[in-house]
Amino acid sequence: MAEALHKAAGPELAEAGAPYSPISPVEAVITEAFQLPNSNGLEKE
């Protein structure tokens, strides 16, 4: 799953997570969506 998210989001996701590395499989870091598609109709302000 993580590989698919990183591939879809682009290299910026890895750059955003680097300061928190290593991130274990049970941890999460909130970042921007970068290149992930937004299908919920909400737009970034």
9-31 pLDDT, tens digit each: 899 989 998 999 998 889 988 88
> How far is the C-alpha of 12 from the C-alpha of 5, rounded, in Å?
11
pTM for the predicted model, two decimal places:
0.64
Confidence band for 43, pLDDT divided at 50, 70 and 90: low
Contacts with 11 (C-beta within 8 Å, 6 or more apart), sequence order = none
Buried b (16+ CB within 10 A) or exposed e, 8-40: ebeeebeeeeeeeeeeeeeeeeeeeebeeeeee
Choose between 44 and 26: higher pLDDT: 26
